[in-house]
Amino acid sequence: MCGSRKTDAAWLGLLAWLGLAGCAGLGEAVGPTPEELYGLALPRVGGGEVRLADHRGQVLMVDVFVTWSQASALAIPGYAVLQGRYAGQGLAVVGVALDEITLAVEPFVRGYEVPYPVALADEAVRQGRSPLGAVDSLPTLLVFDRGGRLRGAFLGRVPMQQVEALIRKLL
């Protein structure tokens, strides 16, 4: 039963454990329900809103990052390449900045020429009370299949070949 407190605690525990392992392909019973995932909407850097519901039916990569992390900054070019390579096949990438000082995010996004939408985390996301769960390691990349089910979690720096292998499998 996805979305229950017991299941949420289990997947958060698994994500914490993955911090030691780095990455994993996850089973269907892990993560938020598709309804919870697609219900998430956050303010977009530069104005407007990032709605995960806009990506229903796509493989979705959610990059949770902070601007002050070198590992976060180093991951962005790889995610941009994957989006360019696979967008036509149904891949979407969304960034979520956890920074509490949001004034730093827009210059960061411009400076790194991030080609995908970047949202500003709200208090629920920062406190681990959102469909993204508790984020204890940065960057964190969550990969959802076309049905909105969590299929992979990558914590910290991960070789892009691992991310791409999962993306290709899901497309």
pLDDT at 37: 97
- Which comes out higher in pLDDT, residue 20 or 103? 103
Q: Average of pLDDT values for 132-161?
A: 94
Q: Which class would CATH give 5-170?
A: alpha beta
3-state DSSP of the chain: CCCCHHHHHHHHHHHHHHHHHCEEECCCCCCCCHHHHHCCEEEECCCCEEEHHHHCCCEEEEEEECCCCHHHHHHHHHHHHHHHHHHHHCEEEEEEECCCCHHHHHHHHHHCCCCCCEEECCHHHHCCCCCCCCCCCCCEEEEECCCCCEEEEEECCCCHHHHHHHHHHHC
pLDDT tens digits, one per residue of 15-73? 443 443 345 555 444 689 999 999 999 999 999 999 999 999 999 999 999 999 999 99
Q: Which has the closest alpha carbon to 93: 68, 114, 71, 110?
A: 114
User: Higher model confidence: residue 104 or residue 158?
Assistant: 104
Q: What is the pLDDT of residue 30?
A: 67
Q: What is this structure's pTM?
A: 0.84
Task: Using DSSP bridges, classify how beta strands 118-120 and 150-155 pair: parallel, antiparallel or unpaired.
Answer: unpaired
Q: Which of 27-31, 47-51, 103-107, 123-127 has the lowest mean pLDDT?
A: 27-31
The answer, yes or no, to whether residue 11 has pLDDT greater than 70, is no
- The confidence score (pLDDT) of residue 136 equals 87
| 32 phi/psi in degrees, rounded to 5 | -75, 160
* Domain boundaries defined on the chain: 5-170
